[in-house]
Structure 1
Amino acid sequence: MGAVRTAARLALGGALVFAGVSHLTFARKDFRAQVPDTVVELAPLDEDGVVLASGVVEIALGSAIALAPRGIRPLVGKVAAAFFAAVFPGNISQWINHRDAFGLDTDERRFGRLFFQPVLIAWALWATRPRRP
């Protein structure tokens, strides 16, 4: 089971780094569709600034998940799970505001995506939890 958990941790870390890089480059427009209007109103950043900042956070989290020493992996997993929960309102905003991005061009597809966020939270927690004695 240790090898499966390691593979899951590395895959999640790699996916986060990739997503973060895509925030900074080729998918910036799509990610802007997920920024809730309330975040832009409250944040000291514009929509693009929020996308860029979240991309940097994703690169850092992905790197930490993949490379953190065993002793702090559970903490990193909890931080990643909290991040996934924190960005969930963006997914809801995309759905309720009918914003197309990432091929999610129907309300059904945007709604279906909402169910993936709890999977990411569980994945982060499971892949980084300590080994059982």
Structure 2
Amino acid sequence: MRSITEAEKTSPKTSTSFRIVDLPDRAIEIIEERKQYDLIHFSAEDDDYIFLSSRGNPLVLNSFNLKLKEAAKANHIDKDISSHIFRHSHVSLLSELGMSLKSIMERVGHSDAKVTLKIYNHVTKKAKKDIVDALNNL
């Protein structure tokens, strides 16, 4: 695991990873609240980072993932959890909400629909129920 002095800000994997993602109002409020917290507690005015460690340094991904694993264990969640689960859950939720495949692909930076469908677009309980409901209403 890297220490904060060894941490490195890297570029995204692909050219489609560079994008502007619109956020809902509540997400913007949460980010603004977090930035205010950082400013008050750490005098942090750097807009490059939203989440800081207890020492006021940018939160390293490995540290974030470690905290997620600890929280999962403490809450008796028997899954291998990492930050990537939020991306997976986001795509699944967008799919459940009926968003088009193309709009989901653009949002998460996929250039190939096969990637989105194969990796992320699994059938959820709600989607299964919706299929049965639609068939019952024929």
Q: Same-fold call, TM > 0.5?
A: no
Which one has a larger percent helix, Structure 1 or Structure 2?
1
Larger Rg: 2
Name the structure, 1 or 2, with higher relative contact order (CA <8 Å, separation 6+).
1
Q: TM-score, normalised by structure 2?
A: 0.32
Q: TM-score, normalised by structure 1?
A: 0.33
